[in-house]
């Protein structure tokens, strides 16, 4: 397990971290209460990483300390920095595809209770291993972050937390991405993402569009 972090004294962390009760992600039309367990599932390029980086960018920019449990070594610091994540406020735990190390790291971080958000990224792990994770793990995590400022943000290809999570969404891309240009010189302009809440029995899926502009003014 490899850990990269910037060590800060507890007095400095206490001064830097100022919390609000609810975290708004306006781009996705979502809001999460502190102390919640959030389950985001979906296939490749469905928007899971985008929403996780948006959350980390918002919190680390405000001075909060966050953590990434990188189960399959898929986290890219350069992409995170481009998305606005303040890397000096981020703890990165690399687990090399070892599911036991990933959950051991998440357990230690959840018990610490000082993080604004902990992103447990399970994407890339074999589904057979994920199905072997006891459901009691998620209820233990939920209990430990209750009444703390920490959000436990879990991403994977399939739902994993069951009824333990307060928020659970499935991401998908029902339409193709929009491009401009021709031949080899195309630019990505927008992605359409569909979010379906697994905690609501009624209602249509929420659709959102992520747009990008790479032109220089």
pLDDT by residue (tens digit) across 105-131? 999 999 988 899 999 999 999 999 898
Which residue, among 70, 29, 61, 37, has the nearest Cα to 148 in the 3D structure? 37
Q: Does residue 179 fall inside a structural domain?
A: no
pTM listed for this prediction = 0.78
Domain that holds residue 151: 20-171
> Does any domain span residue 76?
yes
Q: Residue 214: its pLDDT value, please?
A: 43
Give yes or no for residue 208 having a pLDDT over 60: no
Residue 24's CATH number: 3.40.50.300
CB 60 within 8 A of CB 66: yes
Q: How confident is the model at residue 94 (pLDDT cuts 50, 70, 90)?
A: very high
* Mean pLDDT over each residue of the chain, to the nearest integer: 82
Counting every residue, how long is the chain? 217
Total structural domains within the chain: 1
What sign does the dihedral 172-52-118-92 (CA atoms) show? positive
pLDDT tens profile 74-85: 999 999 999 999
Decide if 28 is inside a domain: yes
Does any domain span residue 6?
Answer: no
Helical H segments across 41-134, by residue range: 48-61, 77-82, 99-112, 127-130
Examine residue 189 and state whether it is found in any structural domain, yes or no. Answer: no
| Cα 16 from Cα 85, distance rounded (Å) | 16
Q: What gap in Å lies between CA 199 and CA 122, rounded to an integer? A: 21
- 184 domain residue, yes or no: no
In angstroms, the CA 7 to CA 164 distance is: 32
43 or 192, which is more confident? 43
In a domain, 164, yes or no: yes
User: How far is 49 from 52, CA to CA, in rounded Å?
Assistant: 5
- Mean pLDDT confidence for 33-44: 92
Instruction: Tell me, yes or no, whether 180 lies in a domain.
Output: no
- Check residue 1 and give its pLDDT: 46
- pLDDT tens digits for 150-201? 999 999 999 999 999 999 999 887 666 677 777 777 776 666 777 788 776 4
């Amino acid at each position: 397990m490899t850990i990269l972090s910037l060590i800060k004294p507890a007095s400095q962390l206490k001064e830097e971290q100022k919390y609000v009760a609810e975290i708004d992600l306006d781009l996705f039309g979502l809001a999460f209460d502190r102390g919640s367990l959030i389950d985001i599932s979906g296939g490749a390029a469905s928007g899971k990483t985008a929403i996780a980086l948006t959350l980390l960018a918002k919190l680390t920019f405000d001075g909060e300390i966050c953590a990434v449990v990188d189960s399959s070594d898929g986290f890219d610091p350069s992409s995170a920095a481009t998305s606005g994540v303040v890397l000096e406020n981020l703890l990165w735990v690399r687990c090399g595809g070892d599911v036991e190390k990933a959950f051991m790291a998440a357990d230690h971080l959840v018990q610490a209770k000082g993080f604004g958000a902990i992103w447990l990224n399970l994407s890339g792990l074999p589904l057979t291993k994920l199905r072997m994770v006891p459901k009691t793990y998620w209820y233990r995590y939920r209990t430990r972050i209750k009444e703390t400022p920490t959000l436990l943000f879990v991403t994977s290809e399939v739902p994993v937390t069951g009824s333990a999570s307060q928020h659970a969404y499935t991401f998908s891309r029902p339409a193709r991405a929009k491009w401009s240009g021709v031949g080899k010189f195309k630019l990505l302009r927008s992605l359409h993402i569909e979010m379906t809440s697994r905690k609501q029995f009624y209602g249509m899926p929420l659709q959102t569009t992520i747009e990008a502009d790479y032109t220089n003014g």
